[in-house]
Amino acid sequence: MECTTKTPLYEKHLTRGAVFCETGGFSLPKNYGDPEKEVNTVRKSVGIIDVSNRGKLILSGEDHIKFLQGILTNDLKEKSPGTGLYAAILTPKGKMISDMRVFKKEDSVYMDIEPGMSEDITQLLRKFRLSYKTEVLDVTKDYCVLHLCGPDCGKFIEKRFDVSIERMNEYDHRTSGEVKIMKLNRTGETGFDILFPNRDATEVWDLLHSPLQLELSGQEALEILRIEAGIPVYGKDMDISTIPIEAGIWNALDFKKGCYVGQEVIARIKWRGRVNWHLAYFEAEQDGFLSPEDILLVKEKKVGRITSSIYSPTLGKRIAIGYIRREFRDFQGEITAKGEQYHDKVKIVRKPFHRSFE
Q: What is the mean pLDDT of residues 312-326?
A: 93
Q: Where are the domains of the chain?
A: 5-54+141-228, 56-138, 276-349
Q: What is the mean pLDDT of residues 134-145?
A: 98
CATH topology of domain 5-54+141-228: Gyrase A; domain 2 (3.30.1360)
pLDDT at 301: 94
List pLDDT tens digits, range 165-196. Answer: 988 999 999 999 999 999 999 999 999 999 99
H-run or E-run covering 347: strand 343-349
Q: How many CB atoms lie within 10 A of CB 71?
A: 20
pLDDT at 342: 78
* Single pTM value for the model: 0.95
286-306 b/e with 16+ CB inside 10 Å = b?
eeebbeeebebbbeeeebbbb
pLDDT at 357: 83
pLDDT at 287: 74
Q: Can you state the percent helix, strand and coil of the chain, rounding each to 5?
A: 20, 35, 45
Q: What is the mean pLDDT of residues 111-133?
A: 96
Q: Are 305 and 320 in contact, with CB atoms under 8 Å apart? A: no
Superfamily the domain 56-138 falls into = Aminomethyltransferase beta-barrel domains (3.30.70.1400)
CATH topology of domain 276-349: Elongation Factor Tu (Ef-tu); domain 3 (2.40.30)
pLDDT at 1 over 60: no
Q: What is the 8-class DSSP label of residue 200? A: G
Fold matches, 5-54+141-228 and 276-349: no
d(CA 160, CA 177): 12
Q: Are 250 and 70 in contact, with CB atoms under 8 Å apart? A: no
List pLDDT tens digits, range 12-35. Answer: 999 999 999 999 999 999 999 999
